[in-house]
A and B are shown apart, each in its own frame.
Chain A
Amino acid sequence: MSKVAWYRIAVVGGIVALLEVLCLAGFIDKITMPAPHIIVRDLFRMVVSGRMNGAIAKTLSNTALALGLALGVGIIAGALLHRARALRDPLDPLFATYYAVPVFAFYPFFIVVFGLGDLPQVLIAFMLGVVAVIVNTLNGLDRVPTVLLKTARILRMSPADTALRMTLPFAGPYLLTGIKLAVAYAFIGVIGSEFIMSRGGIGYEISFAYANFDNATMYPLILLILIASVAVNGALTVWEQRLLARRGMR
């Protein structure tokens, strides 16, 4: 195994081992955090018992919905804005400062307008992710070299054909960056909203468990989310690296 792999194992293993020792020795009391091996054991039990399946399903489905919306609207909006300079220029400062603004501040507004169902969450998650997709789509489209567009015209390709077979494959890696961000933001938006105000989902369960000092539920759930987001992000990154490697970049 490479040096890098050993290094990582050492760092992660070291931190876990340190936590384990601190917990077992009593420096970290059980109310604050159970020992790592107990968290893993509780996670295992929770998964096997299936009692969180409803919450997990709810969170995942809302995340998927928000993600789909963010990607669909984002890519199309990006493609349209790319051609409409008059619209794009005024919106640029909005995109550049968008992520400085706590989008969660709009959550109350959504609740009042749309009620306490799932829609406000999905909207918040959508709002968080869509701008990242638009910005990265624009970035990818900006970078399409003129020579490729000229080639498409010489080959007498229709506009749709050019978009699908020339522009999209070229901009692929950049779009993928936007997709990765949208996934992360969808998670954050849904789970965060569930924290604040919800009647279901993983965020709610964590918040409930916290209020009830139920570490046996809370920590495994948190670990579950960490594992899930790292796994999905990792998979997308591997795909991105493969695309880039084929092009000799990185």
Chain B
Amino acid sequence: MTAQVRLENVGKTFMTGRPPAPLHAVGPIDFEIRKGEFFAVVGPSGCGKSTLLELIAGLTPPTEGTIEFEGTRVTGEAPEGIGVVFQEDASLAWLDVEGNIAFGLRRSNLDADEKKRRVRDVLKLVGLSDFATSYPAQLSGGMRQRVCIARTLVMQPRLILLDEPFGALDQQTRLLMGDEILRLWRETSATVFLITHALDEATMLADRIGVMSARPGRIIDVVETNWPRERDSRIVERPEFGSITARLWHTLRAESMKTIGRG
């Protein structure tokens, strides 16, 4: 598999507070995301996971190092072909579900019929066909996230970034959404990069899992799960599931203690 995203020596320092002082959030980071894989990142709170995702998405430029997406440098501008699903609800309250999804296609060059077709297909893909004319306020949290996922998918991105997208949902819904994500991943053949603080979620979903250290966040371990592509949440029954999660926690525990110690 070829590298779709490459990070070399990437670091990010913010100036925050009054008076502004430098905050070294992330780095130096070196790793790559292979085309078509499902890559998850876990780490203690505040380690810079979201910052890492924003760097890859082009939402913020790196202060050191280079990020490349499909061979082109990424610096503070979102490249074409990347879709992002955030943890907070990004559904547009003033549009219905269909309008929300079509919003992603506004600037594309497709003709009206093609747009309609794509929206309909994606609605079916995420299971919201019956709710096309409903407004986000009438939907549950999980359904609203599905609207956001649908809006991302309708543009057929080659790389999908997910920033703790299920953080606001209850456990059962998370597991079901996990199944959904795996299905969508297979059906769209996109590359998926997921940030989560839930170890079982990472283990269940990903081909490879990166473990981040406490701030300043660096990737200190990459675990390969070697799962088959055709998998779902029942992967938790496999014996390796426990050992992989244990290995993640072993590394993560030490880092998390550092975070609490800093208080």
Q: Closest B residue to A168 by CB, please name it.
A: B94
A window 123-162: CB within 8 A of B: 145, 147-148, 150-151, 153-157, 161
Which residue in A147, A157, A246, A248 is a CB contact (below 8 Å) of B86?
A147
Q: Give, as a whole number of angstroms, the nearest-CB distance from A2 to chain B.
A: 24
Q: Closest A residue to B148 by CB, please name it.
A: A151
Complex CA gap A172/B138 in Å reads 19
Decide if B93 touches A246 in the complex (CB within 8 Å).
yes
Decide if B83 touches A243 in the complex (CB within 8 Å).
no
A170 CB within 8 Å of chain B: yes
Q: Closest B residue to A146 by CB, please name it.
A: B88
B236 CB within 8 Å of chain A: no
Complex CA gap A169/B100 in Å reads 13
Decide if A246 touches B135 in the complex (CB within 8 Å).
yes
Decide if B93 touches A150 in the complex (CB within 8 Å).
no
Decide if A153 touches B135 in the complex (CB within 8 Å).
no
Chain B residues with CB below 8 A from A156, complex form: 78, 80, 107
Residue-wise, chain B 82-113 has the 8 Å CB interface mask toward A (1 for contact) of 11101011101110000000011011000000
Chain A residues with CB below 8 A from B138, complex form: 248
Given A246-B135, A246-B137, A247-B135, do A154 and B82 touch, yes or no (CB 8 Å)?
yes
Chain A residues with CB below 8 A from B82, complex form: 154
Residue-wise, chain A 227-250 has the 8 Å CB interface mask toward B (1 for contact) of 000000000000000010011110
From B57, B94, B136, name the one whose CB has the most chain A CB atoms within 10 angstroms.
B94
Which residue in B54, B90, B137 is a CB contact (below 8 Å) of A148?
B90
Chain A residues with CB below 8 A from B137, complex form: 246-249
Chain B residues with CB below 8 A from A248, complex form: 93, 135-138
Chain A residues with CB below 8 A from B199, complex form: none
Decide if B83 touches A154 in the complex (CB within 8 Å).
yes
Decide if A247 touches B88 in the complex (CB within 8 Å).
no
Decide if B94 touches A151 in the complex (CB within 8 Å).
no
Q: Closest A residue to B93 by CB, please name it.
A: A247
Chain A residues with CB below 8 A from B104, complex form: 155
Interface of A is mostly: helix
Complex CA gap A151/B55 in Å reads 14
Given A172-B94, A247-B94, A248-B138, do A145 and B88 touch, yes or no (CB 8 Å)?
yes
Decide if B94 touches A153 in the complex (CB within 8 Å).
no
Q: Closest B residue to A246 by CB, please name it.
A: B135
B59 CB within 8 Å of chain A: yes
Chain B residues with CB below 8 A from A148, complex form: 90, 92
Chain A residues with CB below 8 A from B78, complex form: 153-156
Decide if A147 touches B94 in the complex (CB within 8 Å).
no
Q: Closest A residue to B84 by CB, please name it.
A: A154
Given A148-B90, A246-B93, A247-B93, do A154 and B59 touch, yes or no (CB 8 Å)?
yes
Decide if A154 touches B57 in the complex (CB within 8 Å).
yes
Decide if A243 touches B59 in the complex (CB within 8 Å).
no
Decide if B86 touches A151 in the complex (CB within 8 Å).
yes
Complex CA gap A172/B94 in Å reads 9
Complex CA gap A147/B86 in Å reads 7
Chain B residues with CB below 8 A from A170, complex form: 92-94
Closest 6 CB pairs of A and B: A248-B137, A147-B88, A247-B93, A169-B94, A154-B84, A151-B90
Q: A145-B90, A154-B57 are in contact. List 14 more A-B contacts (CB 8 A).
A: A147-B89, A150-B84, A154-B59, A154-B78, A154-B82, A155-B107, A156-B80, A161-B107, A169-B92, A170-B92, A172-B94, A247-B135, A248-B93, A249-B137
Give residues in A with beta carbon < 8 Å to B: 145, 147-148, 150-151, 153-157, 161, 165-166, 169-170, 172, 243, 246-249
Q: List 9 A-B contacts (CB under 8 A).
A: A147-B90, A148-B92, A150-B54, A150-B86, A153-B78, A155-B104, A156-B78, A170-B92, A248-B93
